[in-house]
Structure 1
Amino acid sequence: MSRAEDENDGQATERVVIRDRRKINPNGKVAGESVSDAKEAKAKESKRSGGAHRAADPEDGAEVTPTEKPASAPTPAPAPAATPAAPKPPAPALGAELEALRTDLEERTLDLQRVTAEYANYRKRVDRDRGTAAEQTTGAVLSALLPVLDDIDRAREHDDLKGPFATVAETLTAATGKFGLVAFGEKGDPFDPTRHEAVAHLTSPDVKEPTCVEVMRRGYTLGERLLRPALVAVADPE
């Protein structure tokens, strides 16, 4: 240590000289100084300088943190609503296939209608034929019984229909009536060539039109079918 004079008061003062034998590295660190001491020194220097940012320590890799709040980012505008795409027209191949299917469907529908109509007509024809066949069979059986009915009528005219024979006659007449057998031909009926068979003709002042004046054999019908005409004598007006 050395002594020097003070310029102000002219008194001799003692000057303190500090000799630091530590070396300073190129990166700004003093040899022998710990890392924590260097960080504290830099933090104090940053506070004194009042800078807007905190310096990052190259040793610890800290990032620079701004002291002021960053400006808020602008709000992005909403994306416009997507417009629905217009339907694409069908391809020519698809349209042709659709037309072919429609034509095929119409043809199948016409075929089905035709088959349905044919089946309905077939059922009607079968029912009609079945009824005709049944009527013909019944007519054939009843035609075989007509002579028996004629004998019953003659016995009734001569008042011979008595006792058990009368009961059998009534039962047979009722049974044939259930099958639809109807007798016709009475005295005084107008003459009908489609239902009567004339075996005799005469004139009479008592009639104004051809009239059956005598019935030799009654006729029979089965439903609308003429099973047998009646044999009659016809009187014509004078």
Structure 2
Amino acid sequence: MTSTEHQRNETRPTEDAREEGAAAERHEAAGESAEAATGADAYEEALAALAADRDSLKDKLLRTLADMENMRRRTEREVADARTYATTAFARDMLSVADNVRRALESLGGAREGLEGPAKALVEGIELTERDLLHTLERHGVKPVDPQGHKFDPNLHQAMFEVPDPSVPNGTVVQVVQTGYVIGERVLRPALVGVSKGGPKAEPKAEPKADPKPDAASSQGDGEAGAS
């Protein structure tokens, strides 16, 4: 064997070792790249899962806050209604007292003008009692309804009879038989009224639900009693 061939034989194992080392390095790099890709995918999946959980918890939180706000408003409304309408039954019973006082004054008719001395003082005391009673009812949210001259409203009035009168619009309240009352925004007792019939069609007319001045209703009743 010549010296040249001997050198070739010695160099060939070294080159083979180098190639094997390079191949091992490439295989290792490919493995690391695959592991990195797998790790990135797992990270993205975990991140997506966390984002979904966050959105779900946020939605539940917002729904809970909305429910709590609705409950708070409903509770406040129920408490306010309880305060306003707690005396409804008592107030309705007191209306009978107010009616009796009004009837007592109206029963005097024209005889009131000639009263003197103790009799006059008694009538004035009854009138004062009526005014004080109406003021007390008003302080508790009870107000009278004066529908005279207004369009008939079935929510506030109860028609007792019809009055043929072509001079006023059809469906207008022309006579009040019994005063109505409201408590807060609810009808405590509808007004008993007589409604016109035969006239032109009534035009809508705004009507307050309650008379802000009970004295006006009282003085009106006194005038009617005097006229009778």
Hey, what's the Cα distance between the residues in 2 that align with 1:208 and 1:94? 81
- Report whether the alignment pairs 1:140 with 2:101: no
**Compared CA separation, residues 104 and 157, structure 1 to 2 (3 A):** same
CA offset at residue 139 of structure 1?
A: 2.0
What's 1:170 paired with? 131
The code of the aligned residue for 2:197 comes to: D
Q: What percent of counterpart residues are identical?
A: 31
CA offset at residue 147 of structure 1?
A: 0.6
What's 2:185 paired with? 224
CA offset at residue 229 of structure 1?
A: 0.9
RMSD over aligned Cα atoms? 2.8
Query: May I ask how many residue pairs the two structures share in their alignment?
Result: 151
Pick from 53, 66, 69 the counterpart of residue 117 of structure 1: 66
- Report whether the alignment pairs 1:154 with 2:103: yes
The code of the aligned residue for 2:185 comes to: E
DSSP 3-state at the match of 1:177: helix
Query: Following superposition, which runs of at least 4 residues in structure 1 exceed 4 angstroms of deviation?
Result: 158-161
Hey, what's the Cα distance between the residues in 1 that align with 2:189 and 2:141? 14
Hey, what's the Cα distance between the residues in 1 that align with 2:82 and 2:169? 42
Unaligned runs of 5+ in 1: 1-87
TM-score of the aligned structures, taking structure 1 as reference length:
0.54
What's 1:204 paired with? 165
**Compared CA separation, residues 194 and 236, structure 1 to 2 (3 A):** same
**Compared CA separation, residues 146 and 90, structure 1 to 2 (3 A):** farther
Hey, what's the Cα distance between the residues in 2 that align with 1:235 and 1:217? 17
Hey, what's the Cα distance between the residues in 1 that align with 2:148 and 2:45? 82
Hey, what's the Cα distance between the residues in 2 that align with 1:210 and 1:104? 65
What's 2:77 paired with? 128
**Compared CA separation, residues 210 and 110, structure 1 to 2 (3 A):** closer
TM-score of the aligned structures, taking structure 2 as reference length:
0.56
The code of the aligned residue for 1:203 comes to: P
Unaligned runs of 5+ in 2: 1-35, 113-121, 200-228
Deviations 1:158-204 (A, max 9, x none): 46773433333222211111222121135433333332212222312
Hey, what's the Cα distance between the residues in 2 that align with 1:144 and 1:189? 27
User: Relative contact order: is structure 1 or structure 2 higher (C-alpha 8 Å, sep ≥ 6)?
Assistant: 2
What's 2:150 paired with? 189
The code of the aligned residue for 2:70 comes to: N
Hey, what's the Cα distance between the residues in 1 that align with 2:44 and 2:166? 91
DSSP 3-state at the match of 1:157: helix
Hey, what's the Cα distance between the residues in 1 that align with 2:174 and 2:166? 12
